Structure 1
Amino acid sequence: MPVVLLHALGSTAGTWDDFAARLAAHGRHVLAVDLRGHGQSSWAEKYSLELMCDDVLGFLDDHGVEQADVVGHSMGGRVAVLLAQREPGRVRRLVVEDTPPPPERPPQEPLAPVAEPSEPLPFDWRLIEPIMTELRSPDAGWWERLNAITTPTLLVSGGPSSHVSVDALARMSEAIADCLLVTVQDAGHRVHSAKPDEFWSAVAPFLSRT
């Protein structure tokens, strides 16, 4: 059973190198994906979470993968949630790492424009505005659509040191039929990088279940 790994905004598949190596050492086939506009993936004219989900489904089709375990961090977790909602039969196990749900109300401060850095980036700068806007936009129906997820799900929180509210993740876990929430204390937002051993201990047993 392949394991598909989806990275966060502004990151690349390389963020999973340590975790992927551990999975491979335990006999798992790993597919770490550069999402649209990131890493080695093509830059595009349009960016959205739905389009990224379409890309992942196309990737699975191209590689003949009918079903996989899917692990997503932050933005990649939002894409993984979409995948599990739209194609539940293709996701055997779902792991969502410190992924912020949509806010209940618009942020008080608008998204401030930031000048593009002069140094080369591992992603297309043009994706920042549309993806950040989508991540920050309220979507009351998003919570209701969580009940479309039928696959066993693990939510991993980085604890209070992360900007992602533990309470929001607890609410997510309650909305998904078969869901477990694990908190890795003092991990912050990048749990798999900051606390790789603890992340492995939380996720590996879940993925090994039959």
Structure 2
Amino acid sequence: MTVFSDHSIELSHLPFHYREAGDPDAPPVVLLHGLMYDARDWDEIAGFLAEDYRVLALTQRGHGESAWPGAYSFELGCGDLEAFTDSLSLERFTLIGHSMGARVGCVFAEKWPERIERMIWEDTAPVDVDFPEGSEAVPGAAPFDFSAATSLVHQIHHPDPSWWNDLRKITAPTLIIGGGSTSYTPQERLAEAARLLPDGRLATIEGAGHLVHRTRPEEYKELLRKFLKADPS
């Protein structure tokens, strides 16, 4: 049974929550949750990864036990990730993000590509997405600042063109996991993003929808296992 520990950390003078599991001397993996969730959303996947990695799941600003400062953007999330990994002396790490978390990871990897060992985006790319009403209203959702959702959804509908244009700057092997035809994310844009990435690939779990790691955890774990163990050459 995986043992998780909860921690508080100050980043840019704001309190943040994160969960940790695995050997502290193992290669680090950072997990970033989607909108309206928190670090606990990753517990099943984190438990799987903790067999081989030091797993660090950060609760992002405006969610759960982390700060609700009223200011939200993907750029601020990127700054939080930089501060978090700097505080833990993680010079290079694997990054796994779902939805909002993957977009934060994209911005980070474009700015500091040398710090990313490998990256997984779950059912997202830096493009406009038409959210269906109530799409995230499922068990496991965490308390969150509604203004965070408002601000971030506005950015999703009006993405910075550089997020897409700079995909070629991301040098790390990157796996995009799509949820197939039942997801509201345009799957053809995931495929296009994978082609633009220097070392990108797309794997689709048909019928999984947007919450792939929740609806199809065993298939998701198998994709992670193969990707993270693959020879980078």
TM-score of the aligned structures, taking structure 1 as reference length: 0.88
**C-alpha distance in 1, partners of 2:71/2:126?**
22
- Is 1:204 matched with 2:229? no
Deviation string, structure 1 residues 155-186 (Cα, Å, up to 9, x no partner): 00000000011101011011101011000011
Query: What residue is the counterpart of 1:102 in the other structure?
Result: 127
Query: What residue is the counterpart of 1:69 in the other structure?
Result: 94
Deviation string, structure 1 residues 62-118 (Cα, Å, up to 9, x no partner): 1111111000000111001111111111110010000143239xx7x9xx9xxxxxx
Query: What residue is the counterpart of 2:210 in the other structure?
Result: 189
More strand by share: 2
Contact 2:125 2:193 in 1 (8 A): no
| Alignment counterpart, residue 77 of structure 2, candidates 52, 56, 60 | 52
More helix by share: 1
Kindly state the Cα deviation for residue 45 of structure 1 after the two structures are TM-superposed: 2.9
Cα pair distance change 1:58/1:140, threshold 3 Å: closer
Identity %, equivalent residues: 39
- Is 1:167 matched with 2:193? no
Give the partner amino acid of 2:65: Q
Kindly state the Cα deviation for residue 122 of structure 1 after the two structures are TM-superposed: 1.3
**C-alpha distance in 2, partners of 1:87/1:72?**
16
Could you tell me which runs of 5 or more consecutive residues in structure 1 were left unpaired when the two chains were aligned: 113-119
**C-alpha distance in 2, partners of 1:123/1:174?**
34
**C-alpha distance in 1, partners of 2:62/2:195?**
33
Relative contact order, CA 8 A, sep 6+: which one is greater? 1
Cα pair distance change 1:121/1:185, threshold 3 Å: closer
SS at match of 1:160: helix
Deviation string, structure 1 residues 41-79 (Cα, Å, up to 9, x no partner): 111131000000100110001111111100000011100
Contact 1:103 1:139 in 2 (8 A): no
**C-alpha distance in 2, partners of 1:121/1:68?**
26
SS at match of 1:168: helix
**C-alpha distance in 2, partners of 1:147/1:19?**
28
Give the partner amino acid of 2:37: S
Provide the aligned length of Structure 1 versus Structure 2: 198
Give the partner amino acid of 2:41: T
Contact 1:6 1:35 in 2 (8 A): yes
Contact 2:183 2:210 in 1 (8 A): yes
Query: What residue is the counterpart of 1:150 in the other structure?
Result: 171
**C-alpha distance in 2, partners of 1:4/1:143?**
22
Superposition pairs of residues 120-135 of structure 1, within 5 angstroms: 122-135=143-156
Deviation string, structure 1 residues 111-155 (Cα, Å, up to 9, x no partner): x9xxxxxxx961111212111100111443332111111111000
Contact 1:146 1:175 in 2 (8 A): yes
Contact 1:38 1:124 in 2 (8 A): yes
SS at match of 1:43: coil
Greater CA drift, 123-132 or 5-14: 123-132
SS at match of 1:164: coil
Contact 1:96 1:155 in 2 (8 A): yes
Query: What residue is the counterpart of 2:9 in the other structure?
Result: none
Cα pair distance change 1:121/1:20, threshold 3 Å: closer
Give the partner amino acid of 1:40: E
TM-score of the aligned structures, taking structure 2 as reference length: 0.80
